[in-house]
């Protein structure tokens, strides 16, 4: 007996509630943008500058005590969070202390780090500091810029590639889907105030890749079916294509999610935010390839004469005069 | 139908075997690492010396004919320190311009009758402003100052001059030309890199990374060092550069140098030793500059300048020792021992010898390697403790294994026999990722491990696409062999398009990212390449081989 996540020969109408699903997506995107504007993101030191110190102690972490110990140093914005992880031993109590970049410092101030460590050792003389990371404000500004450029470059490159391989309507649909995925993922980071650092940008770019992967598989089938069924309404062709690829979509998302969830649970707290972004991205990416990309393709329509696929190869403006 | 020519089968298995061959050392990580360390240590031993037993044992623990390159572990996995330093090149511009004042003064004094009195004006540090009292002598003054300008010496040399000289009323304005600024910036950075590298090599840690980043930055990563603080102290210490009188030259390193003398080996020439007076004539602290240049005969040489104290001592010493060699020593090794050819007053001199342009540039770098040419400001520092790294490896390993097992079970449950074949390909796939990573000596980081786990999940995608397609083709009852063939044929465009888009993301990550993010991009990119390869070649070959043997009437995907 085989495991079938999707029944054979499905014939579901994915556009029956098109208004509802599309409206829901627009709502989520809008909500995410509002969250990002109002609450903002919990930027890590990569983007804001400052210092994070990871502490490890045999005694239980008391955030209040830590805060009191550091307060006399007058370091401005200090955030202290206790870190929990199933892989920690019983004597392993971990916290991270995040200190804002000190005013007037172009670079990294070693004295600040030493002062904080000394202050914390008063609480537990055996406290250790497994990692200390400082980023000066000068570098962090550049890092933000590079990150934004990276995401934009990825989106642009992909827009171009899909336009080359398909038609511009496909390209817009795919890019709308991945912009949707990226914005909603950032929205979740804003809502849950998970630390947003360089690794998260890497995760966002992976989401871009994954979301497309999914969309492209559906589009590839649409292209094939458009050649096969020349007079069927667009909506039926899209529905057929999504149903035909549904089993694959669910299988691949399934295996990827299995892998990511094991990493999320067992991979340790250091990369949890990163893995969380990817896990979330896979879920949204799968949803958006059906309910955003295909919806937009349906709205925009596309050329219906695919009988001579090679006629305009390499020249998108080939039949301007025709 | 379903035919794969023999040569292609051989090629596919050969590629797989190669991938696994290069991946193999990673299974015995510590053994191979010790083997490599032992080889490096043995290399350092003097020729003919006995190899200590423990080194030999470590070396022999891993056979020499097997590949021994390992996947490097990133700082976040091994623990260590990371620093990003910015070299303050601007300071050097100012210092260079400031150092020009005495020669400008001397040049103008010689034509005092035309220019009148000379006075340096205070002002911005990037302009040397000199006022003369006789405006009529301006053109003569400009000419005299311009004579101080030299062609910029670079390997690409385009005939630019070092100084821009202009007039403003009674003032002569002297600035460094853009070409000279670039040359100084380049020189300063290369010198800083060289010093940093030398100093870190002194501690002898394994595989430090010292890289230039952009125009004026240096990235330093040292695994295994306790903290970034420690690393900063190391880089901040001044190395010792000294100038000594040479007593004699010998080939015997064990010779007793005699009272108040020392014996130092030659840097370039193995087996040559110099016996020198212990007290240096001058030290690197008295040196302000050294640059590649050319002597009167147009041969590459090195110019150097002392500060006033050093210049006076050096002038006196050279006047008394014409025809004798003296040694330039860095960290108890003799860089060179030129013969003094004339009295060298004024604190500057030229070292001629058997130089090429490259080696004179190198020596100039070395000469200045005693003191950092400019202050370094640290923009970024990270310390990762080794325990945290070890925890991360352990967590990543467990997560990998669990993900692997879960995906294998899931695939087998969904596609039966075909799923098992895909699983074989998946295992080969992960092996080949490690093979590729090892072969090019890539660095594995924590996000890189995440990339591998993600690949494990996504690698089956190509197989899933094919299997789903075969299922569909089977419905139209064309017989299993035709269904398999069509399945591969029709799934190909989707596989290619889908993976090219992901690889675009990976390439952009690699180009724009740094450190751990790059590690992720590498494993993701390699994962895509190997997974497409295993899906459309290896799994297919496995299926075809199985099909040829069994010739089933029906298949159940």
pLDDT at residue B17 is higher than 90: yes
Distance from CA of B198 to the nearest CA of A (A): 24
Are A209 and B502 inside 8 Å of each other by CB? Answer: yes
User: Hey, is the C-beta of B454 within 8 angstroms of any chain A C-beta?
Assistant: yes
CA angle B284, B290, B291 (to 5 degrees): 165
Residue showing tokens 């190395």: B239
> Which pLDDT score, from 0 to 100, does residue B435 have?
92
Percent of chain B with pLDDT over 70: 91
pLDDT recorded at residue A38? 93
Residues with Cβ < 8 Å from A20, sequence gap 6 or more?
none
Task: Sketch the domain layout of chain A as residue ranges.
Answer: 18-42+140-300, 50-135
Q: Is B323 exposed, middle or buried (0-12, 13-18, 19+ CB in 10 A)?
A: exposed
Task: Report yes or no: B200 at the A interface, CB cutoff 8 Å.
Answer: no
Candidates A156, A268, A273: best to mutate against B (most CBs of B within 10 A) is: A268
B75 with B84: CB under 8 angstroms? no
Q: Is the pLDDT of residue B65 over 80?
A: yes
Q: Which residue has the tokens 């499905």?
A: A10
Instruction: List pLDDT tens digits, range B449-497.
Output: 888 888 887 778 888 989 988 888 888 867 888 888 888 988 888 888 8
Give the homologous superfamily in CATH for domain B6-26+66-72+386-550: Multidrug efflux transporter AcrB transmembrane domain (1.20.1640.10)
pLDDT exceeds cutoff 60 at B231? yes
For position B141, what pLDDT does the model report? Answer: 86
Contact with chain B for residue A154, Cβ under 8 A: yes
Looking at beta carbons, which residues of chain A come within 8 Å of B391? 87, 268
* Chain B residues lying within 8 Å of A255, measured CB to CB: 407, 410-411, 457-458, 460-461, 464
B499 touches chain A (CB under 8 A): yes
Are B136 and B149 in contact, with CB atoms under 8 Å apart? no
Same fold, B89-183 and B237-381: yes
pLDDT of A310 above 60:
no
Q: Please report the pLDDT score of residue B405 as a whole number.
A: 92
Average pLDDT over residues A269-291: 89
Q: Which residues numbered 369-388 in B keep a CB inside 8 Å of some CB on A?
A: 377-385, 387-388
- Which pLDDT score, from 0 to 100, does residue A208 have? 81
Least confident of A20-24, A29-33, A129-133, B121-125: B121-125
Give the pTM. Answer: 0.75
Calculate what percentage of chain A has a pLDDT beyond 70. Answer: 93
Residue A134 contacts residue B497 (beta carbons within 8 Å):
no
Chain B, 386 to 425: residues with Cβ < 8 Å from chain A are 387-388, 391-392, 394-396, 398-399, 402-403, 406-407, 410-411, 413-416
Question: In chain B, positions 65-94, which contact chain A (CB-CB < 8 Å)?
Answer: 76, 84, 86
Chain A residues with CB under 8 Å of B447 CB are 199, 202, 271, 274
Does any CB of chain A come closer than 8 Å to the CB of residue B162? no
Average of per-residue pLDDT across B215-242? 74
pLDDT at B149: 83
pLDDT digits (tens, 9 = 90+) for B516-550: 678 888 888 999 999 999 988 999 999 999 988 88
More confident residue, B16 or B445: B16
The domain spans of chain B are 6-26+66-72+386-550, 89-183, 237-381
A72: buried, middle or exposed (CB in 10 Å: 19+, 13-18, 0-12)? exposed
Reading the block at residue A111, the tokens are 């004295």
Whether A94 and chain B come into contact, CB under 8 Å, resolves to: no
Residues 463-482 of chain B whose Cβ lies under 8 A from any Cβ of chain A = 464-465, 468, 471-472
Q: Is B411 in contact with A255 (Cβ distance < 8 A)?
A: yes
Confidence of residue A322 (pLDDT cuts 50, 70, 90): very low
- Enter the DSSP assignment of A107: S
Lowest mean pLDDT among A96-100, B161-165, B230-234, B290-294: B230-234
d(CA B131, CA B138): 10
Q: pLDDT for B339-360, tens place per residue?
A: 887 787 777 777 666 667 776 7
Does domain B89-183 sit in CATH 3.30.1360?
yes
pLDDT of residue B365: 61
pLDDT category at A320 given cuts 50, 70, 90 is very low
A256 CA: distance to closest CA in chain B (Å): 4
Neighboring chain B residues of A213 at a CB cutoff of 8 Å: 458, 461, 498-499, 501-502
What CATH number was assigned to the domain covering residues B237-381?
3.30.1360.200
The residue of chain B with its CA nearest to that of A94 is: B388
**pLDDT given at position B368:** 62
Continuous segment of H or E residues that includes residue A258: helix A234-266
Contact criterion met (CB < 8 Å) for B392 and A268 = yes
The per-residue pLDDT for range B253-293, each reduced to its tens digit, is 777 777 668 888 886 777 788 888 877 788 776 777 778 88
Q: How confident is the model at residue A316 (pLDDT cuts 50, 70, 90)?
A: very low
Compare all CA atoms of chain A with the CA of B389 and give the residue at the minimum distance: A130
- The string of pLDDT tens digits covering residues B19-43 is 999 998 888 888 888 888 888 888 8
Mutate: best of B457, B467, B514, partner A, most A CBs <10 A: B457
Q: Where in B307-363 does DSSP place strands (E)?
A: 326-330, 333-336, 348-351
Q: In this model, does residue B333 exceed pLDDT 60? A: yes
Residue B304's SS3 state is strand
Pairwise CA distance, residues B395 & B50, whole Å: 43
Q: Which CATH number fits domain A18-42+140-300: 3.40.190.100, 3.50.50.60, 1.10.4160.10, 1.20.1640.10?
A: 1.20.1640.10
CATH topology for A50-135 is Alpha-Beta Plaits (3.30.70)
| Cβ-Cβ contacts under 8 Å, A113 against chain B | 229
In chain A, positions 232-291, which contact chain B (CB-CB < 8 Å)? 244-245, 247-248, 251-252, 254-260, 262-263, 265-268, 270-271, 274-275, 278
- Residues B185-194 pLDDT 10s: 888 888 888 8
The model's pLDDT over A62-108, given as tens digits with 9 standing for 90+, comes to 888 898 888 888 888 888 888 888 878 888 889 999 888 877 666 66
Q: Give mean pLDDT, residues A134-155.
A: 84
Closest by CA to A179, choosing from A146, A145, A144, A215, is: A215
């Amino acid at each position: 007996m085989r495991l079938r996540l999707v029944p054979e020969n499905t014939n579901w109408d994915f556009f029956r509630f098109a208004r509802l699903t599309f409206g829901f997506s627009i709502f989520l995107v809008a909500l995410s943008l509002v969250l990002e504007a109002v609450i903002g993101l919990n930027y890590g030191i990569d983007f804001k500058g400052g210092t994070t110190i990871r502490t490890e102690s045999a005694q239980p972490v008391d955030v209040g005590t830590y805060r009191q110990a550091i307060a006399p140093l007058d370091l401005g914005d200090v955030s202290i969070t206790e870190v929990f992880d199933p892989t920690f031993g019983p004597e392993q109590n971990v916290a991270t202390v995040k200190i804002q970049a000190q005013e007037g410092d172009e670079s990294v101030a070693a004295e600040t780090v030493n002062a904080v460590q000394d202050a914390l050792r008063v609480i537990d003389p055996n406290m250790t500091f497994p990692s200390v990371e400082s980023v000066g404000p000068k570098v962090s500004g550049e890092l933000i810029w590079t990150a934004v450029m990276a995401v934009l470059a990825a989106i642009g490159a992909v827009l171009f590639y899909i336009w080359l391989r398909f038609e511009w309507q496909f390209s817009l649909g795919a890019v709308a889907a991945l912009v949707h995925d990226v914005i909603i993922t950032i929205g979740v980071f804003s809502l849950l105030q998970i630390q947003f650092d360089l690794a998260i940008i890497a995760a966002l770019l992976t989401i871009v890749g994954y979301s497309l992967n999914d969309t492209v598989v559906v589009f590839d089938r649409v292209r094939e079916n458009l050649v096969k069924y020349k007079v069927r309404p667009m909506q039926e062709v899209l529905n057929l294509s999504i149903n035909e690829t549904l089993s694959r979509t669910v299988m691949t998302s399934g295996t990827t999610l299995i892998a990511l969830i094991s990493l999320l649970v067992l991979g340790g707290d250091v990369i949890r935010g990163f893995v969380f972004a990817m896990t979330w991205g896979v879920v949204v990416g799968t949803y958006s390839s059906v309910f955003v990309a295909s919806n937009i393709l349906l709205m925009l329509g596309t050329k219906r004469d695919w009988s001579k696929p090679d006629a305009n190869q390499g020249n998108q403006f080939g039949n301007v005069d025709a | 139908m379903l035919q794969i020519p023999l040569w292609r089968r051989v090629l596919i298995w050969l590629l797989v075997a190669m991938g696994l061959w290069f991946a193999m050392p990673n299974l015995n990580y510590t053994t191979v690492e010790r083997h490599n360390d032992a080889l490096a240590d043995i290399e350092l031993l003097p020729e003919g010396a006995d190899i200590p037993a423990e080194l030999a044992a470590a070396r022999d623990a891993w056979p020499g004919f097997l590949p021994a390159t390992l996947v490097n572990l990133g700082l976040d996995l091994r623990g260590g320190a990371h620093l990003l330093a910015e070299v303050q090149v601007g300071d050097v511009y100012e210092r260079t311009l400031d150092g020009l004042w005495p020669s400008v003064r001397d040049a103008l004094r010689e034509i005092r009758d035309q220019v009148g009195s000379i006075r340096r004006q205070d002002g911005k540090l990037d302009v040397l402003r000199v006022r003369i009292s006789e405006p009529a002598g301006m053109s003569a003054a400009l000419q005299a100052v311009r004579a101080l300008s030299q062609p910029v010496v670079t390997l690409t040399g385009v005939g630019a001059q070092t100084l821009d000289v202009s007039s403003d009323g009674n003032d002569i304005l002297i600035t460094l030309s853009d070409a000279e600024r670039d040359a100084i910036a380049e020189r300063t950075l290369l010198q800083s890199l060289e010093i940093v590298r030398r100093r870190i090599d002194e501690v002898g840690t394994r595989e430090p990374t010292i890289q230039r980043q952009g125009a004026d930055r240096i990235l330093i990563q040292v695994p295994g060092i306790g903290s970034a603080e420690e690393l900063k102290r190391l880089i901040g210490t001044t190395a010792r550069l000294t100038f000594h009188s040479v007593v004699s030259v010998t080939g015997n390193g064990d010779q007793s140098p005699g009272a108040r003398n020392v014996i130092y080996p030659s840097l370039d020439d193995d087996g040559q030793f110099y016996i020198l007076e212990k007290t240096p004539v001058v030290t690197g602290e008295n040196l302000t500059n050294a640059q590649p240049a050319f002597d009167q005969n147009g041969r590459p040489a090195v110019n150097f300048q002392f500060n006033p104290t050093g210049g006076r001592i050096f002038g006196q010493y050279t006047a008394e020792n014409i025809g004798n060699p003296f040694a330039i020593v860095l960290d108890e090794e003799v860089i060179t021992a030129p013969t003094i050819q004339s009295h060298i007053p004024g604190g500057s001199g030229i070292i001629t010898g058997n130089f090429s342009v490259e080696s004179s540039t190198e020596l100039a770098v070395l000469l200045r390697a005693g003191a950092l040419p400019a202050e370094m400001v640290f923009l970024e520092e990270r310390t990762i403790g080794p325990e945290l790294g070890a925890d991360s490896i352990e967590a990543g390993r467990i997560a990998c294994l669990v993900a692997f097992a879960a995906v294998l079970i899931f695939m087998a449950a969904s596609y039966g026999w075909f799923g098992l074949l895909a699983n074989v390909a998946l295992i080969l796939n992960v092996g080949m990722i490690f093979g590729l990573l090892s072969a090019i000596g890539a660095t594995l980081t924590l996000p890189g491990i995440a990339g591998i786990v993600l690949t494990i999940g996504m690698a089956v995608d190509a197989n899933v696409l094919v299997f789903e397609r075969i299922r569909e083709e089977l419905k139209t009852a064309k017989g299993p062999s035709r269904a398999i063939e069509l399945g591969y044929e029709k799934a190909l465009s989707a596989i290619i398009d889908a993976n090219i888009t992901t690889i675009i993301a990976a390439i952009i990550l690699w180009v724009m990212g740094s450190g751990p993010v790059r590690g992720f991009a590498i494993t993701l990119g390699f994962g895509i390449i190997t997974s497409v390869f295993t899906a459309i070649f290896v799994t297919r070959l496995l299926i075809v081989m199985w099909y040829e043997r069994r010739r089933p009437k029906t298949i159940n995907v």
